Amino acid sequence: MIGLFARCMFEATRIYPSANVATGKEWRSSSNHLAKNERLELRKDHKTMLMDDNRQKLDEFIRLHHSTGAFLLPNAWDAGTARILEGLGFEALATTSAGLAFSMGIRDSSGSLSRSQVLDNARSIVEATNLPVSADLENGFGDAPEDCAQTVREAEKIGLCGGAIEDATGDPDNPIYEFEHAVDRIRAAVAAKSGPGFLITARAENFIYNRPDLNDTIRRLQAFEEAGADVVYAPGLPDIATVRAVCKSVSVPVNVVVGLSAASYTVDDLSAAGVKRISTGGSLARAALGEMIRAAQELKDCGTFGYSKRAISDADAASQMRVMPRAAN
């Protein structure tokens, strides 16, 4: 009897520890499963929040295009300038390929920037502000309609609310796409949108490529509207009368860029002419470069520091920027 009892005790001490280990493994597995589910739920919640935030930006951008009068759409060239423009009270922003090119030490010309470079810059601007952002998508980064479509798909993914595609080829000998091909490219860009919220701006570039043909420009803008463009745009129009003629020729909102040259008209004049959106292109970036050059010339040629009186303080600059933890090495 004693021997039997001892053997039972031995079996019990041999079996129960392993049973406890098995139970521990099951508990850890269950715990890991729960943690994984929580992480998935957090990611889903974060994604939902981003989608809701983007939906609000899209709605706001559409509202601006249908409000009374013209609204200002200044062009930021990095996250810092986007933050400053938001702090000044602007309601929406655009990007500028010219400003980006200048910041990289290269000339602004079709083909000098890649799609990834432009969209990476646009993403930094989108993430830096709470405002709707429309991107300068140049010529769609390729000649084919599918190039424009792919650019639109990628632009939507990073949270942009719109993008402008131009009919300039980047070829000095043949600077403007043939009419039908230009229209096909806009049609493909429109078809690539996932929904009506993302606004396609179609640009007719005749006037800035020494082709001041108003009739052909209007014909193109009307065809772009027919192809589904949400906004049309002809940079370089010479005067307010020409702007008014363009606005009367289409039923979608018209964008006018200012700052390409000195102009005597005002925001109110453009609004009265029928303009809905006023952008600045690369002119704010050039204004900033101009001030930096004047300051550096004073420093070099005069040996004085008067430029510091015109500069904002370090505290003012810092107050407009985000507080971010140091990135890991």
pLDDT at position 42, please? 55
pLDDT band with cut points at 50, 70 and 90 for residue 328:
confident
Residues forming a β-bridge with 135: 163
**58, burial (CB in 10 Å: exposed 0-12, middle 13-18, buried 19+):** buried
Is residue 312, in this structure, part of any structural domain at all? no
Q: Domain containing 112: what range?
A: 53-281
pLDDT at position 23, please? 58
Locate the DSSP E strands across the chain.
Answer: 71-73, 75-76, 93-95, 133-136, 162-166, 199-203, 231-233, 254-257, 277-279
Residue 290 confidence (pLDDT) above 80: yes
Is residue 271, in this structure, part of any structural domain at all? yes
- Give the global pTM: 0.84
pLDDT at position 36, please? 64
More confident residue, 60 or 4: 60
Q: Which amino acid belongs to residue 225?
A: E
pLDDT at position 17, please? 47
Q: What stretches of 192-282 show up as alpha helix (H) in DSSP? A: 214-226, 240-249, 267-272
**211, burial (CB in 10 Å: exposed 0-12, middle 13-18, buried 19+):** middle
Is residue 43, in this structure, part of any structural domain at all? no
Residue 1 confidence (pLDDT) above 50: no
Please report, for the domain that includes residue 68, its CATH number: 3.20.20.60
Residue-averaged pLDDT of the chain:
90
Mean pLDDT of the region 281-307: 98
Q: Number of structural domains, the chain?
A: 1
Mean pLDDT of the region 135-162: 98
Residue 47 confidence (pLDDT) above 90: no
Is residue 158, in this structure, part of any structural domain at all? yes
Is residue 222, in this structure, part of any structural domain at all? yes
Least confident of 25-34, 107-116, 300-309: 25-34
Residues forming a β-bridge with 231: 201
Is residue 19, in this structure, part of any structural domain at all? no
Contact 134, 92 (CB under 8 A): yes
Least confident of 10-14, 118-122, 318-322: 10-14
Least confident of 41-50, 191-200, 302-311, 315-324: 41-50
Residue 168 confidence (pLDDT) above 70: yes
Is residue 164, in this structure, part of any structural domain at all? yes
Is residue 310, in this structure, part of any structural domain at all? no
| pLDDT tens profile 125-139 | 999 999 999 999 999
Q: Backbone phi, then psi, for 136, in 5-degree steps?
A: -80, 105
